[in-house]
Structure 1
Amino acid sequence: MDISGNLPQPSVHKKRRRPALACEQCRRRKVRCDRNLPCSTCVRSKHALCTYASHTKSAPRKSPEHGAEGPVDSMALALGCPAPILPAFQPLPSPPRRSGASSAAARTQADHRSRIRLDETPEENPLFVPTPSSGEHSGPADFGTWQPVNGPWAPVTVTASIRADTASTPGSCPGSSSTVNSLMERVKQLEQQLSDLTVRNKGGGDVAAPECVSVPREGLKYSRGCVSKTRYFGQSHWMNAADTLYRLVNFARKFEGQKNSQLYADLEKCKKLARVIKARRTPSFASITTGQNMPSRELADALVDIYLRTFESVHRIVHIPTFRADYERYWQNPSEATDTFVILLQLCMGIGATMYDERFTLRTLAIRWFWEGMFWLITPCEKSKMTVNGLQIRCLMHFLRHTANIGCDLSWIGAGAIVRTAMYMGLHRDPKAIVKMSPHRAEMRRRLWATILEIVLQTSIDSGCPPLISTPDYDTEPPANLDDEQLVEDAESVFPVPKDPKVYTQMTVPLALFASFATRLAIAKRVNEFRSDTLYEETLRHSNELSTSLQRMMRQLNSHPAVTSFQLRYVQFMSYRLFFALHQQIIPLALRNPVYYFSRKMTVDTALRLSEAAFLCPNKAGTGPMKPSTPSEVDFYRLTINGAGTYRSVPFQGIMTIGLELINLKEEEANNGPPMSVIGSEGQLRGVLDAVHDWSRRRIQSGETNVKGHALGVVLITNIHGLENGVIDDKIEDYFEAACQERVTECYDLLRHLAGDGVLEEGMDMPHIHDLDMDFDDGTDLLADWDWESMENNMNFGNFPDTMLL
């Protein structure tokens, strides 16, 4: 049988032409060339040029492991190459005067290897990619120009350029010093680029690069921010959780189009009445004078004591012994006190007024004190305010913004002014690195810098904007573990010995909070910089680092019996809220993919922890929410009732997270039967939502004017009731409207009582009052004039499953 037809035919390859190794001048003259640079023939003939033609080699056939799927990624090839792309070149030895046979042969072989290495084509070396303008190389030393790598996964390209005049000069020959130096510099650039690519691919770890590098995986797809009116809310802003509130967005859009409804009319009445109330609180700018609105000595003592035991115990701003001495001198002779100290004292009392009583009866006075501080800052000359006292006043004004609700959602802008003023004064440099100063002055600068860094971080999370500062931007050391009495204002004093970390001092709590600053700053930068990665593995890594850091902080604080309840609850508010920023955007994915269940669990656990800190969790008997029992607990409870900004948005985040978890549990129960208790007991979650009504009512009674934001709790509870009663989706909006109508009517009565009997409905329609509205509440104005179309374009609502929509 003839089987010749089944035998594979041998492939016929065209014989390759042997590359020409002689120089171009010897080839034209047809004489022997010893292949030196320059060769001996050109030296004897006194030729100025001795050049070699480049050798292009055909692309090698693909190995079987590469397959025929397509060209391998150049970056992966470069990183996966077991041998270095190009070795570090050493200067070539100059040719000796005598040409011995053995030395000539050795030089010829070495030069041949160098030329073969330099003449590699782009197919053999993926880092060399010639442009279409590239012609033949005039010599083996021509690598062309270099281009930087644009990004961590940008392809590495090298634009080859040919300059005949360079190749024609003796200095361009590979044996010359200038060419060798140029080659070494370019190879260093190449090695640095390759090193950068390897480090980026490893994520900055210390593990050696793998032999084969896979193509980087694509990150998660979720919203990095949304736009409302003229403002951009980044990922950490709590309004980005509207990804899961599609039913609420639909209800708000439908409600805004029904301007003839009773709900719309009642909300407009509440809005006008709120403007009148806020206009009364804002002082006339022409009447602002410093020191003319001081309270009695007894009231001032109470307000100062409240400030010192609350905010000053966490954020160090003033030196307490010096402050108390100046305070006593003020009451002995108020007329001789400086305006700087009067402003400082008023701001401290304004913060203390937030926790003086549950109804915040001193709110108007606190707002006036804020504006007196603002006028002190902007009056000439501004340079004279660039002092430590000026920085202290700026920091106190920042906290008073959040406690008295004076444009607190714009505090990220003010925080930028604070940190830049501090850096302009050199607080970002450690005192040891600048001028010699007393221990008191050096420690006060370190304490102020730590407080300013915390302000920058918290405002970044509040606004969803990047912190715009990194750890390499400063070298100031953390403050020492010292009591204020150990710091004496004496230039000749020696630095006191810091106490052991196990010993409680007035710096124990601030230092414990500052120890986690670097971890929290990295998270704020990652979630609010829109070019950062969205890999879930990185989210888990940051979450683990934050958990470890906060567990260490809580163990340290719980080991000190002197740490107050206010301090413990406050630092939890400032630190655990970072879990919301990390995981809240992944909740829509976690509700339909169990791979991301950890994010769902972390947000619910964080919500329960922070709700407990805000006294929103049910008591042990289950008869109602927790009640404060100690003076320190009363301080924090009043802060969550009277405060704004962070002290309002963090509980709202917890309420919304718990509401969504309950809704999801009810939907799973309707589809699959009674579920097992996975994260938290349903009774505990339900108890938090039951406490929302009383919490929001108390906030309005204390002076809160934004009633629309509190519709959130009503809608969440109404949706849960609808699911329990089997209400279909087409009818659920009717339940929303009825519940909101009841709440708005109640809130209007509370606002009328807050405004007093002198306000008439026909006198509330005053358009000029809007210009005095310094309470920017877009963050919680859920049913206000949002740009819903813009939000829908940013949120990708259409891709959400029914089981995750509110």
Structure 2
Amino acid sequence: MSEPDSEERIHRVPISSRRVVKPSAKKRRPPLACVQCYQRKLKCGRELPSCSRCSKTGNAEGCTYRSNNATSSSPNGLPTEGNSGSAALMATSLHTPVSLADIRGRPEVSSGRSGEMIHLKGQEAITKFYGCSYPLNFYQQFTELRSYIVQIKIKNPDINRFRDEFYPLANDDYRLRLLAHSTVSIETLRQLIPTKSVADTLFQTYIDRFEVIHRVLDIPAFITDYNQHWDFPLSSSALFLAQFLLVAAAAASFHPDMCNEVSNQQMIYDCAVHWIDAAESWLNSSANQFSQSWDTLTTHCLLLIAKRAHYIQEGFFWACTGAMVRRAMAAGYHREASLTVKISPYYREMRRRLWMTIIELDIQASVDRGMTPNIRIEDFNTIPPLNIDDEKLQDLRQDTLEGMPLATFTKTSFQAHMYRSLSVRLEICALVNGCRDQDNFERVLYLGEELEEALRDIPEWDNPQYNPRQKQTTMYVKRLLDIYLHQYTLLLHIRFAIQGSPSFKSTISRRARLEAASMVLDNHQKLINETKVPEQACRTGLLLAAVNICHEIYINFGPHGKDTHIPTSSFLSLFSWEKLITTDF
């Protein structure tokens, strides 16, 4: 399994393993602890060459609190029993996650099958919160996992170094290094545009894989600007150049092995980071755009999509989507404009599309972080976007137009179908990650039925006239719809599935979450096999499904496993997903 994300990693600085005694100082007895543990009022055995917390040698029990009510330290820094919240927090590093149960003064449950799926990281005035749907909170459900991680790190002290080298951009300390405080000119943007062969591939990938999910652009209009750029490069506006760099950066996540000839064969991933840097710096330049204009909101939306595609600033993403929601609300996108407002039918439809894209980005960020959505269903009355292709939008400039039936596939089909379950998904996310009582099992069953109805309504979109690329696109959209909706079924049943004592409710929820998690993994595998999606390019719900299946196996066959109501045959198909699970962990 992988460790919790970079926000939960213990920051280590190079220090001596023993305190240095000055030659002129009075002779003292040998110190019991290394510098770091001494300063933090921890101790390590005198027979150990150094502390297990600092040099990763010695045994797992080397560091304990000095007080009589000593608590053993977990590999994540979580006290397992004893001390009250304030004492535990003061003895815990600022970079160490702290269980909310300890802050409330309650001992953490000894069973891995119950307890709160929430985390409060940090201490005193600097904290971060991770709610129930945050996948790595499942670490609290595996009792033996923490000591196992410590033993592994003791045997392999280079794990942390390799981890930080492998995930440099996953850090919340990541900042846009090169251009954060500089003004980016149009000439700088123009020089970053890749060669036409690379650009054509990336642009087509964005249209087929991102724009069918997140409706941001008017595709025919953008294609016109794109073709014009190659005919007359100097005529392209800074807005188009910034938007194209973000489009290319998002699509680069599907082409990890591609090289950019403009940057001396630099790998496309490194180029994508520079493109995002430049576009964001240009966008944040106050003189460039009106903050609430259509073009500015569109570019901000593309920026979020590109960052999410490369897992940049993941821990900050929920805050970014919240800011984006408020930007759109300040421009009135959350309200359906009356007929008296001077907005053409074309822009009315484009506003609906962009609003739905922003809401979907925000609710997914809420799930990933374990937070409530930044908006509720009663906070807006914008009607759903029409299920039509962009070519039809040109007709909306003069008159209104009705959308196609959902059984007809268009570039807006994903968005139109997801809108039908939006209120249910917003309620589930608020229920799981909110502070309300979650013990209303009847409500859980009702919401689960609503999700099942949405799943049953996914069309086949099997048109024999489609060419191979169109067939792959429709299959891609269908698989993602299935993944997104099953993700919420999984979230809905987590609380009852992990409760300590078996019950009729827990049996139903465990079966439901096992089936939902299996469907998520199955559809991810089909995306890789059928539509040739790279493994790293589509991760929605994958980690959450994987840890839920691991937990189900653990409570059935682990050291605390009891007689189960889940048939053993239900686990046989899991072996076909071994690669997916191990890759994600």
> TM-score, normalising length from structure 1?
0.51
1:670 & 1:534 partners in 2: Cα distance?
24
| 1:266 matches 2:155 | no
Q: 2:427 aligns with which of 522, 537, 554?
A: 522
1:606 aligns to 2:516 (yes or no): yes
Question: What is the aligned partner in structure 1 of residue 226 from structure 2?
Answer: 327
Distance 1:525 1:665, change over 3 A: closer
3-state SS of 2:388 partner:
coil
Decide whether the 8 Å contact of 2:335 with 2:380 is kept in 1.
Answer: yes
The answer for the alignment partner of 1:378 in structure 2 is 284
2:330 is the counterpart of 1:420: no
Letter of the aligned partner of 1:658 in structure 2?
I
Distance 2:143 2:521 in 1: 24
Q: Tell me, in whole angstroms, the C-alpha distance in 2 between the residues paired with 1:465 and 1:318.
A: 29
Q: What is the RMSD of the two structures over their aligned residues, measured on CA atoms?
A: 3.2
Residue 541 of structure 2 aligns to a residue whose secondary structure is helix
CA distance in 1, matches of 2:566, 2:506: 18
1:564 CA drift (Å): 1.9
C-alpha distance in 2 between matches for 1:333 and 1:517: 43
Deviation at 1:430, TM superposition (A): 1.3
Q: Which amino acid aligns with 1:689?
A: E
Asked whether 1:549 is paired with 2:443, we answer no
Cα 1:580/1:276, change in 2 over 3 Å: closer
Which whole-Å CA distance do the structure 2 matches of 1:545 and 1:655 have between them? 24
> In the superposition, relative to structure 1, how do residues 422 and 287 fare at CA in structure 2: closer, same or farther (>3 Å)?
closer
Secondary structure of the corresponding residue to residue 475 of structure 1: coil
The match for 2:251 is 352
SS at match of 1:487: helix
Task: Report what 2:503 is aligned to.
Answer: 593
2:116 maps to 1:223: yes
Distance 1:576 1:601 in 2: 13
Paired residue type of 2:287: C
2:400 to 495, 520, 528: 495
Aligned to 1:26: none
Do 1:237 and 1:581's aligned partners in 2 also have CA atoms closer than 8 Å? no
Query: Alpha carbons of 1:414 and 1:679: their partners in 2 closer, same or farther (altered >3 Å)?
Result: farther
For 1:373, give the aligned amino acid.
A
AA paired with 1:375?
S
What do the CA deviations read for 1:98-123 (whole angstroms, capped 9, x no partner)? xxxxxxxxxxxxxxxxxxxxxxxxxx
Amino acid across the alignment from 2:380:
Y
What CA distance in whole angstroms lies between the structure 2 residues aligned with 1:475 and 1:393?
A: 24
Deviation string 1:328-369 (CA, Å, 9 cap, x unpaired) is 111112222111111111111111111124689411111111
Q: Does the Cα contact within 8 Å between 1:224 and 1:530 map onto a contact in 2?
A: no
- Does the aligned pair in 1 maintain the 2:276–2:306 contact within 8 Å? yes
Pick one of 148, 155, 158 that aligns with 1:251: 148
Equivalent-residue separation in structure 1 for 2:258 and 2:546 (angstroms) = 23
Larger CA deviation: 434-443 vs 306-315: 434-443
* Pick aligned residue for 1:234 from 131, 150, 162: 131
| Counterpart mapping for 1:39-58 below 5 A | none
Tell me whether 1:293 sits opposite 2:186 in the alignment: no
Q: In structure 2, how many angstroms separate the alpha carbons of the residues matched to 1:459 and 1:495?
A: 34
Mapped pair 1:318 → 2:217: yes
SS at match of 1:687: helix
- 1:661 to partner: Cα distance: 2.4
The one-character-per-residue Cα deviations of 1:701-723 (angstroms, maximum 9, x if unpaired) are xxxxxxxxx3xxxxxxxxxxxxx
Distance 1:558 1:245, change over 3 A: farther
Instruction: Specify the code of the residue in structure 2 equivalent to 1:650.
Output: G
Q: CA contact under 8 A between 1:466 and 1:524: conserved in structure 2? A: yes
Give, in whole Å, the separation in 2 of the partners of 1:598 and 1:425: 45
Q: Is the Cα–Cα contact under 8 Å of residues 655 and 689 in structure 1 kept in the other structure? A: no
Q: Is the 8 A contact 1:523 1:578 kept in 2?
A: yes
Query: Could you tell me how far apart the structure 1 residues matched to 2:562 and 2:388 are?
Result: 60
User: How far apart are the structure 2 equivalents of 1:278 and 1:677?
Assistant: 37
Check whether the contact 1:430–1:475 (CA below 8 A) recurs between aligned residues: yes
Distance in 2 of aligned mates of 1:522 and 1:614: 25
Please report how far the alpha carbon of residue 453 of structure 1 lies from its aligned counterpart in structure 2 after TM superposition. Answer: 1.3
Task: Show the 5 A alignment for 1:205-220.
Answer: none
Distance 1:485 1:311, change over 3 A: same
User: 1:569, 1:613 within 8 Å by CA — same for their partners in 2?
Assistant: yes
Distance (Å, rounded) in 1 between the aligned partners of 2:347 and 2:169:
44
Larger Rg: 1
Task: Indicate how the Cα distance of structure 1 residues 275 and 529 shifts in structure 2: closer, same or farther if over 3 A, else same.
Answer: closer
Partner of 1:435: 341
**Within 5 A, what are the aligned runs for 1:338-737?**
338-357=237-256, 361-381=267-287, 384-432=290-338, 435-488=341-394, 493-552=398-457, 554=458, 556-558=459-461, 564-589=474-499, 592-615=502-525, 628-630=528-530, 633-634=531-532, 637-638=533-534, 641-643=535-537, 647-648=538-539, 650-667=541-558, 678=567, 680-689=569-578, 691-693=580-582, 695=583, 710=585
Could you tell me how far apart the structure 1 residues matched to 2:365 and 2:479 are? 19
Q: How many residues align?
A: 448
CA distance in 1, matches of 2:207, 2:520: 24
Identity over aligned pairs, percent = 23
Corresponding residue of 1:47? none
How far apart, CA to CA, are the structure 1 residues paired with 2:284 and 2:243? 15
CA distance in 2, matches of 1:469, 1:287: 33
- Specify whether residues 483 and 287 from structure 1 end up closer, same or farther in structure 2 by C-alpha distance, changes over 3 A only: closer
Aligned mates of 1:591, 1:359 — CA distance in 2 = 52
Question: Are the structure 2 counterparts of residues 339 and 656 from structure 1 closer, same or farther at C-alpha, using a change threshold of 3 Å?
Answer: same
Q: Aligned in 2, Cα 1:304/1:267: closer, same or farther, shift over 3 Å?
A: same
On the 8 A contact 2:333/2:355 being kept in 1, the answer is yes
- Within 2, Cα distance between the matches of 1:397 and 1:588? 37
Q: Using the alignment, how far apart are the partners of 2:209 and 2:463 within structure 1? A: 17
Q: CA deviation at 1:313?
A: 0.9
Please say if residues 229 and 235 of structure 2, whose CA atoms lie closer than 8 Å, have aligned partners that are also in contact: yes
Q: What is the deviation of 1:537? A: 2.5
Sort the Cα spacing of 1:320 and 1:662 in 2 relative to 1 into closer, same or farther, 3 A. Answer: same
- Residue 290 of structure 2 aligns to a residue in which SS? helix
Instruction: Tell me, yes or no, if the aligned pair for 1:504 and 1:560 is still in contact at 8 Å.
Output: no
Greater CA drift, 663-672 or 571-580? 663-672
SS at match of 1:578: helix
In the alignment, the residues of structure 1 paired with residue 580 and residue 289 of structure 2 have an alpha-carbon distance, to the nearest angstrom, of 49
Instruction: Give the Cα separation in 2 of the matches to 1:614 and 1:283.
Output: 34
The SS at the match of 1:228 is: strand
Is the Cα contact below 8 Å between 1:481 and 1:508 reproduced in 2?
A: yes
**Residues 457 and 521 in structure 1, CA contact (< 8 A), matched pair in contact too:** yes
Gaps of 5+ in 2: 1-113, 260-266, 465-470
CA contact (8 A) 1:240 1:585 kept: no
Aligned equivalents of 1:536, 1:660: Cα separation in 2: 21
Cα 1:444–1:272 change in 2 (3 A) is closer
